Amino acid sequence: MRIILLGAPGSGKGTVAEALRSACGFPKVSTGDLLREAVREKTPLGLVAAAQMGKGGLVDDATVLALLRERLAREDCRDGYVLDGFPRNLAQAGSLDALGLSGPEIVFDLRVSDQVVLERLASRRSCPRCEAIYHLVNKPPKKAGFCDVCGTALVQRADDTPEVIKERLKTYHAQTEPLVARYAAKGYLHRIDGDAPAGTVLRDVRRALDAALGRREGAGS
């Protein structure tokens, strides 16, 4: 099974992916996390990616696809995975189809207003080591400034500044949002109100997932 999370930056994709991982056991595969790891480790791909990420645009498809293929080849993805941040344009969606899949594909569109994105990302802090996500008001760490999971000092992502966020939103509307219509036409799409509090979003996603899987089992597929 493949679960795809679509949504603007700050729409809650990472939080939903993490919740699905603990509820269903499917690993969270985030191309943003993979890219940041490559940047930290200064791999050849990371050096290419860093410049593109800092401006709020997309990293080129070949680089992202190379990282993704490597990640999906690992054993933990064999029965299914949750994609956070991929595909981000129509070409990537075509590449994903070409990778093939056994089992259903389910797509969630986490719909958020640009205003909510700007507010959320200004208060977002993340762990540079394990990529856990916090919000200064809605989900503060137990010990201020440090990750609950691994104790590392939290940071504000370099691309979570107001100027870069505006660019990332533009990139999202121009390149990623058209995917909503693509997956709706295939009948795979579930729209979720991403402006709602995290608990409501997670409940809505679980309900939609259970209903979609139940329907498919009922249909014998």
Report the residue from 19, 59, 93, 209 that binds ligand AMP according to the rule CB under 6 A. 59
Report the residue from 17, 64, 106, 132 that binds ligand AMP according to the rule CB under 6 A. 64
Q: Which two tokens stand for residue 131?
A: 């990529």
Tell me if 85 contacts ligand AMP by CB under 6 A: yes
Q: Which two tokens stand for residue 157?
A: 């992502």
159 versus 204: smaller Cβ distance to ligand AMP:
159
Least distance between ligand AMP and beta carbon 134 (Å): 15
Least distance between ligand AMP and beta carbon 170 (Å): 11
Find, among 170, 189, 192, the residue nearest to 179 by Cα.
Answer: 189
Active site residues: 13, 88, 124, 157, 168
9 versus 80: smaller Cβ distance to ligand AMP:
9
* Binding piece for ligand AMP, criterion CB under 6 A, among 20-28, 86-94, 143-151, 179-187: 86-94
Alpha helices in the chain (DSSP H): 13-24, 31-40, 44-54, 61-72, 90-99, 114-122, 162-171, 178-186, 198-218
Half-sphere exposure of 192 (CA within 13 A, CB side): 31
Tell me if 32 contacts ligand AMP by CB under 6 A: yes
Tell me if 9 contacts ligand AMP by CB under 6 A: yes
Query: Could you tell me if 3 and 106 are in contact, meaning their C-beta atoms sit under 8 angstroms apart?
Result: yes
Query: Could you tell me if 121 and 134 are in contact, meaning their C-beta atoms sit under 8 angstroms apart?
Result: no
Residue with tokens 């993490």, as numbered in its chain: 18
**Count of residues touching ligand AMP (by CB under 6 A):** 16
Interacting residues with ligand AMP (CB under 6 A): 9, 31-32, 35, 52-53, 56, 58-59, 64, 85-86, 88, 92, 159, 168
